[in-house]
Amino acid sequence: MPRQEPAERFPNLDQLARHGGSYLIGDTKSIPGAAIASDSREVYSALIRRDGESLDELHRRLDEVVGQVMRGEREPVRSTRCQINASTSARSVVSAREDGGEMPARRTGPAANEL
């Protein structure tokens, strides 16, 4: 089977990038396993890599969610809240889940000033 180009494998992310948007897949300073897609107006998706999920699977999941937002089948991410646990000074990130709920808080680092 011939190898597909990224534009063929991830058409929604390709369309987003061609129209001024961008996406990130990987570890950020504050969120390990992040997958974020946005443009200057909104955040289309903010996902966290599932246990055992490959980067390719995460990439496909991000493309799928972005496509759903573009087609109006899903709302874009409205907010991401960061919570500070005063007893441990640990930062937890809560963001939109694919089903519209919230992902459970996740400890992501010791320094609150890195937010």
Of 4-8, 58-62, 110-114, where does mean pLDDT reach its minimum?
110-114
Q: Strands 22-26 and 34-38, how do they pair?
A: antiparallel
| Bridge partners of residue 48, in order along the sequence | 34
Backbone angles phi, psi at 20, to 5 degrees: 90, 0
CA distances, 73 to each of 13, 18, 22, 60, 67 (Å): 16, 21, 20, 17, 8
The amino acid at 28: T
pLDDT in tens, 25-45: 998 888 889 999 999 999 999
Higher pLDDT, 90 or 76: 76
What does pLDDT average to over the chain? 74
Residue 22 scores a pLDDT above 50: yes
pLDDT-based confidence at residue 66 (cuts at 50, 70, 90): very high
> Does the reported pTM lie above 0.85?
no
Q: What local confidence, expressed as pLDDT, does residue 29 receive?
A: 85
